[in-house]
Amino acid sequence: MAEIKLTIDGKPCTARPGQTILEAAKASGIYIPALCHYEGLKPSGSCRICTVKVNGRPAAACTQPVAEGLVVETATPELEDMRRALVEMLFVEGNHFCPSCEKSGNCELQALAYRFGMLVPRFPYQWSVREIESVSPRLLMEHNRCIQCRRCVEAIRTPDGRRVFAAQERSGRLRIGVDPELAAGLDEDTARKAMAICPVGAILYKEVGFAVPIGRRKYDRSPIGSDIETK
Amino acid sequence: MTNIETIIQRHAGDPTRLLDMLRDVQAARGCVDRVSRAALAKALRMSEADVEGIVSFYHFFSRTPAGRYAVYLNTNVIAWMNGRAAVARAFEREAGVRFGRTAPDGLIGLFQTSCIGMNDQEPSAVINGVVFTRLTEAKVKDIVAGMRAGRPAAELVGELGDGANQHALVRAMVANNIRAAGPVVFGPHEPGRGLRKAVGLTPEAVIAEVKASNLLGRGGAGFPTGLKWDFCRREKGDRHYVVCNADEGEPGTFKDRVILTERPGLLFEGMAVAGYAVGAAEGILYLRAEYAYLKPYLESVLDGLRREGLLGKGAAGKAGFDFDIVIKLGAGAYICGEESALIESAEGKRGEPRDRPPFPVQVGYLNEPTIVNNVETLCCAARIMAEGAAWFKSMGTAKSAGTKLLSVSGDCERPGVYEVAFGLTVRQLLDMAGAPGAAAVQVGGPSGSCIGPDGFKRAICFGDLPTGGSIMIFGPERDLLEVVRGFMEFFVEESCGWCVPCRAGNVLLLRKLEKVLDGKGNARDLEELVAWGAVVKTTSRCGLGQTSANPILTTLANFRGLYEARLRSGADADAVLDFDLAAAMEASCRAAGRPIPSPEAHHG
């Protein structure tokens, strides 16, 4: 199929038809920060951190398909500030205490905050009251840290397609509910996959924690996105 | 259990009819309890968590008993202006329960609900699907007495409204309040004339005629209708669908309610014209739950059209054109007025918007090419086919052809529906409605803009002040910033929660606004309202979040003085007050069982 030509921050890029702007950027060594996106999963477009301007109009890079001649802006001061604002919104919406979190160093929300140089959120903390739920013999759900990105909703299903995790309620009350019966039936691999796919420390595998000490984890070694940029 | 099984069978175990099933369960059991959710999940091969996700998305479904009489009292600002506070107190007093709860004996539950499309006759409420308008303390007393006597809600309505509101299948106390009947929607129309003319042409010619008429979508966005139909017709698919968006939820609009009451035949004719144009065999009227009281009547109108041969096999005498219409009910969610959320909801799911592209004309209902059109738009289409594009274009302005139905409410002598030619100025409308002293007008509902007298010379049309039709008028005695607070509370409640800026950002905007209204803000807070509003507007996934900051942003632009008057002054005006020490001290002292210090003590 014919290659599609577009520019990202003035840099000429090529893409395949059907690719998203995020994928095309990645292939060209340009990192567009994203949080809810997970390779291989249908993008949910929920975090909006990958918002770019396409021909001057805002769009989520993870859901927007490439097209011939698109002019994409991503690393502008305006967009970078908005991304940081979205990360800050998540920090004040939930209750995120990094030092005591099993996911610290592997957490994508924390890694983005570091990358964006966030010291303190511009927004007041909401101190929302959320619970910790023991959802199955293998899994804990730490709702305080859940950012409702929907990766687990999309990825963790029973062999016959039923959702183990499901979005419930709406507005600020939105929460990811867990089906107790189906969660109890998860095998070890799927339960571990659920924890791994969670970008934060909301889905936790019980029993063993901190097997790799904080300081030697993924984003402790190199900032999020650096693997794409050094290509 | 048999009860649930019967309900599932009644809807053929079809997952796209889950909302219908939930509606029946809610009516039969007063809630959708765990047992029902489990049975539904099993029958539809879903997880229970998923079913709970759908139940909890919609306002009119509950997981705990909502009472044998579930009262949903409208929270729209116009209701407050018309004495809602006293009515709410009367309900609490008479029912012996607070809002948000169900009485221990399970008889009455009291709940708040967003605009129910009765702004011209507030305060209003929906009780067991029956609409009660112009509520007063005395009426509330009678209604609650009737409940205690065990009378069905339908028997408790007062004097019936005008026109078809008196029809045996409606019997609603709702008034039409048609104040200005224009030539397009309310003009004389020979039933079936538009459709018969359409089927005498090729579908392409019908689309060409609609394009030539310059008809733009009446829901507010103003997309060219003919172009939408053309896109849909060109898409390949097993079947095409016509969906009518009768989920008018923008606070302050109620004109579709009046069309559905007085011109349903014209609407259905428009849907058939659209069906013929795009090559659809099925039309869906997605009716908001608040208008469920019209459903039996609308079904009877559909039956009549089938008998007359305007719907069904070989509709309007055109061999091969088999078109029929079904009615699907919503369940209380403003976001379902967004076309892709509406489609999700019509498929029996949570009403969460989809990503675009693909657009509904490409991938719509059941992933087939679908047009979603507003009630008024489809009426216009039928009239354009009957009278011609030139006739339609002779009205309105060069860019905004035809007429527009406006829902006018608030501080005016004649609230109601006005069908006017595009191009009318706000001032002219205020004169028609009897509001010479208006201080502010909210055009296009909360997601539109709030203008002051400086803007009253502006024209209602797509080039200047576009609107889906909601016009709310505020007199000089009103506290406009309280109105803004009400609108922001509405958006916070009605955000579907899918994306971060809309879910979290609107809450932060509301809190910041409240800070200013509480007299704790300074100039920096106003700057932050603008900056944060821009983030929510720019990064939100759908139209809700892209417009939800408008109440704040447009009043900051047009009524900045109102905000500035609330700001702190003096030596510590620059201090950032995001922490309320007195409140924190009080909470701590309560927890520790210590005496609460007086406010002066903090300054020591």
pLDDT digits (tens, 9 = 90+) for A78-92: 999 999 999 999 999
Other beta carbons within 10 Å of A228 = 15
Q: Rounded to 5 degrees, what are φ and ψ at A165?
A: -110, 140
pLDDT for res A1: 60
Whether residue B156 contacts residue B143, with contact meaning beta carbons closer than 8 Å, is answered with: yes
pLDDT at residue A231 in the model: 57
Q: What are the φ and ψ backbone dihedral angles of B602, each rounded to 5 degrees?
A: -70, -20
Q: Which residues contact B21 (CB under 8 A, 6 or more apart)?
A: B7, B8, B10, B11, B40
Specify whether domain A97-221 bears CATH 3.30.1050.10. no
Q: Exposed (0-12), middle (13-18) or buried (19+): which is B299, by Cβ within 10 Å?
A: middle
Q: What is the mean pLDDT of residues B423-431?
A: 98
Contacts of A20 in chain B (CB under 8 A): none
Domain regions of chain B by residue span: 2-55, 69-164, 179-393, 403-474, 480-564
Instruction: Tell me which fold the domain B69-164 belongs to.
Output: Glutaredoxin (3.40.30)
Length of chain B: 604
- Give the pLDDT of residue B579: 77
Q: Give whole-number Cα distances, A152 to A105, B277, B349, in Å.
A: 20, 42, 18
- Tell which of B359, B503, B528 to mutate to test the A interface (max A CBs under 10 Å): B503
The one-letter amino acid code at B13 reads G
Topology at the third CATH level for domain A4-75: Ubiquitin-like (UB roll) (3.10.20)
Distance CA B209, CA B387 (A): 11
In this predicted structure, the answer to whether residue B315 has a pLDDT above a threshold of 90 is yes
Residue-level pLDDT at B572 = 81
Start-end of CATH 3.30.70.20 domains in chain A? 97-221
List of chain B residues whose C-beta atoms are within 8 Å of the C-beta of residue A86: 500-501, 535, 539
Residues of A in contact with B493 (CB under 8 A): 171
**What are the pLDDT digits (tens) for B151-193?**
999 999 989 999 999 999 999 999 999 999 999 999 999 999 9
Please report the ipTM that was assigned to this predicted complex: 0.97
pLDDT at B220: 85
How many beta carbons lie within 10 A of that of residue B25, not counting itself? 24
User: pLDDT tens, B123-141?
Assistant: 999 999 999 999 999 999 9
Task: Identify the band that residue B71 occupies on the pLDDT scale cut at 50, 70 and 90.
Answer: very high
| Residue B454, phi then psi, degrees to nearest 5 | -55, -30
Average pLDDT over residues B528-556: 98
* Residue type, position B234, single letter: R
Residue A64: which of A50, A78, A75 has the closest Cα?
A: A50
pLDDT at position B601 is: 53
Q: Which fold has domain B403-474?
A: Ubiquitin-like (UB roll) (3.10.20)
Q: Which CATH number is correct for B179-393, 3.40.50.11540, 3.20.20.80, 3.40.50.300, 1.10.20.140?
A: 3.40.50.11540
Instruction: Answer yes or no: pTM beyond 0.90.
Output: yes
Determine the residue type at A146.
C
Looking at residue B575, its pLDDT comes to: 79
Pairing of strands A51-54, A57-60: antiparallel
Nearest-Cα distance to chain B for A213, in Å, is 31
Helices of type H across B464-559? 480-494, 500, 506-517, 523-539, 543-547, 550-558
Which pLDDT score is estimated for A208?
Answer: 80
Whether the predicted pLDDT of B309 surpasses 50: yes
Q: Measured between alpha carbons, how far is B135 from B239 in angstroms, rounded to an integer? A: 46
Domain with CATH 3.10.20.740 in chain A: 4-75
* Helix-, strand-, coil-residue percentages of chain A, each rounded to 5: 30, 20, 50
Q: What is the pLDDT of residue B604?
A: 38
Return the ∠ at Cα B209 (arms to B180 and B186), rounded to 5°: 15
Please judge whether B540 and A48 are an interchain contact, meaning their C-beta atoms are less than 8 angstroms apart: yes
Q: Under an 8 A CB cutoff, do B49 and A165 touch?
A: yes
Give contacts of B353 with chain A, Cβ < 8 Å.
none
Mean per-residue pLDDT for B436-448?
Answer: 96
Residue B62's pLDDT is: 97
pLDDT at B599 over 80: no
B602 has a pLDDT exceeding 60: no
Average of per-residue pLDDT across B202-216:
98
CA B45 to chain centre: 32
- Number of Cβ within a 10 Å radius of residue B370: 29
Q: Name, in order, each residue with C-beta under 8 angstroms of B416's C-beta and a sequence gap of 6 or more.
A: B120, B176, B177, B178, B179, B407, B408
The pLDDT, as a whole number, for residue B288 is 98
Q: Which pLDDT value is given to residue B553?
A: 97
Length of chain A (residues): 231
Mean pLDDT (whole number) for A19-31: 97
DSSP per-residue string spanning B428-476: HHHHHHT-TT-SEEEETSTTSEEE-GGGTTSB-STTSS--SSEEEEE-T
B46 vs A contacts (CB less than 8 Å): 162-163
Checking if the pLDDT of B390 tops 80, the result is: yes
Would an 8 Å CB–CB cutoff place A42 in contact with chain B?
A: no
3-state secondary structure A124-149: CCCCCCCCEEECCCCEEEEHHHCCCC
The yes-or-no verdict on residue B2 having pLDDT over 80 is no
Q: How many CB pairs under 8 A join A and B?
A: 130
Confirm or reject contact between A147 and chain B (CB < 8 A): yes
Looking at CATH, the fold of the domain delimited by B480-564 is given as de novo design (two linked rop proteins) (1.20.1440)
Q: What are phi and psi of A51, to 5 degrees?
A: -60, 125
Mean pLDDT in residue range B74-98: 97
The shortest CB-CB distance from B53 to any of A43, A124, A168 is to A168
Which residue, chain included where needed, has tokens 């791994």?
Answer: A196
Calculate how close chain A gets to B185, using CA atoms only, in Å.
36
What DSSP character marks residue B252? T
CA atoms within 13 A on the CB side of A47: 31
Angle between helices B34-44 and B48-55 (to 10 degrees): 120
Q: Confidence band (pLDDT; 50, 70, 90) for B50? A: very high
Res B70 pLDDT > 50: yes
Scanning every residue of chain B, which has its alpha carbon at the shortest distance from the alpha carbon of A52? B539
**What percent of chain B is predicted at pLDDT more than 90?**
94
At how many degrees (to 10) do helices B506-517 and A77-93 cross? 80
Q: Residue B540 and residue A177: Cβ atoms within 8 Å?
A: no
